[in-house]
């Protein structure tokens, strides 16, 4: 369990808090030392891949490396408006090397499980509800709300792009599943490039 002080801080902090890099690293260290691997993975998938709660709980083990090495295929996601229609934002996202190592170690030896965040009790063939991610944050003293993890991802990638003079709004939108402009949508990003950027940002 998280220490009582962390839980109290989480309860008493406004849930609009945006984590900075130092607080993020402190949180990862604390969860790692407490062996809260499931929570650690859930947080890192949000903060280092830009995944939403529905994408995290529905992430399947079989969708790791499904198309490209160190990639996660996103099959079930929040639907977004495209013109007059709502469509699922299916896409493949790179997993940085450190997170990939953590996830593959966590799922190793768990043959038969479908989801990365698998159930210990109940029907292991069903994903958790999206609310479960909120529960993990709250029980383990994480002081920012779940949706702010995507904000953190966006700010970290954008800051790295600015610092290295590689500003690419189209790539950031692709990571987040946002609609790109006509100009941004021309051509395709090489997989190695997309993966390399996240390795450098979160390596």
- pLDDT band for 61, please (50, 70, 90 cuts): very high
What are the C-alpha distances in Å from 52 to residues 7, 41, 106, 193?
Answer: 23, 13, 20, 23
pLDDT score for 5: 52
Which of 83, 28, 30, 78 lies closest to 50 in space, CA to CA? 78
Percent of the chain with pLDDT over 70: 89
pLDDT score for 14: 44
With a cut of 90, say whether residue 171 has pLDDT above it. yes
Would you say 176 and 50 are in contact if contact means Cβ atoms under 8 Å apart? yes
The DSSP secondary-structure symbol of 64 reads B
At 133, phi and psi to the nearest 5? -65, -40
d(CA 68, CA 100): 13
The domain defined by 4-202 folds into hpI Integrase; Chain A (1.10.443)
Length of the chain: 203
With a cut of 50, say whether residue 9 has pLDDT above it. no
- pLDDT band for 2, please (50, 70, 90 cuts): low
pLDDT score for 1: 46
For the chain, domain boundaries:
4-202
pTM greater than the 0.85 cutoff: yes
Q: CB neighbours (10 Å) of residue 69?
A: 12
Question: What confidence tens digit (pLDDT) does each residue in 112-136 have?
Answer: 899 999 998 888 889 999 999 999 9
d(CA 178, CA 50): 11
């Amino acid at each position: 369990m998280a220490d009582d002080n962390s839980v109290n801080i989480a309860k008493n902090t406004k849930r609009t808090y945006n984590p900075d890099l130092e607080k993020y690293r402190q949180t990862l260290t604390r969860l790692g030392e407490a062996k809260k691997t499931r929570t650690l993975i859930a947080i890192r998938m949000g903060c280092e891949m830009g995944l939403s709660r529905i994408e995290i709980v529905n992430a399947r083990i079989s969708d790791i490396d499904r198309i490209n090495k160190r990639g996660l295929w996103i099959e079930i996601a929040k639907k977004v408006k495209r013109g007059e229609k709502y469509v699922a934002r299916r896409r493949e996202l790179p997993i940085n090397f450190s997170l990939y190592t953590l996830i593959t170690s966590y799922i190793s030896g768990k043959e038969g499980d479908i989801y990365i965040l698998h159930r210990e009790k109940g029907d292991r063939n069903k994903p958790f509800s999206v609310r479960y991610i909120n529960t993990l944050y709250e029980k383990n003293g994480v002081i920012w709300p779940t949706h702010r993890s995507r904000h953190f991802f966006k700010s970290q990638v954008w800051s790295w792009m600015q610092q290295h003079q590689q500003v690419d709004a189209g790539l950031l939108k692709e990571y987040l599943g946002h609609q790109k402009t006509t100009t941004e949508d021309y051509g395709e990003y090489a997989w190695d490039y997309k993966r390399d950027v996240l390795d450098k940002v979160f390596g």
